[in-house]
Amino acid sequence: MAVVDCKVAFHMGVAGMTPEYRRTLIIETIRALQTGVPVSKGRVTLILEPWPDLFYDAMEREGKGWINLLQAAAARMERILK
């Protein structure tokens, strides 16, 4: 587990994604959902893996219901990358 200066722990996850790559996937996935492109639950849960609260909410939602969870993850990523 990597610890960031702002006292926020960030777990890279099973996929070993860097924070920058995870942010890119979040942005791509939000854009896909907004345009109606099907996105798998596996992709969303993999992206949200470092944040259990968002991860478990994603398990109960589908499609565009994931957008606000991904936006919350993007905001957390921005704090981590500052």
What's the pLDDT tens digit per position in 44-76? 999 999 899 999 999 998 888 999 999 999 999
DSSP letters along 10-63, please? Answer: E--TTTT--HHHHHHHHHHHHHHHHHT----HHHHHHHTTT-HHHHHHHHT--G
Contact 29, 47 (CB under 8 A): yes
What's the pLDDT tens digit per position in 2-35? 433 344 444 455 567 788 888 999 999 999 999 9
Contact 5, 82 (CB under 8 A): no
CB atoms within 10 A of CB 58: 22
Q: What is the rounded distance in angstroms from the CA atom of residue 2 to the CA atom of residue 62?
A: 30
Q: What domain count does the chain have?
A: 1
User: Hey, what are 36's tokens?
Assistant: 């109606």
- pTM score over 0.75: yes
Domain that holds residue 65: 2-81
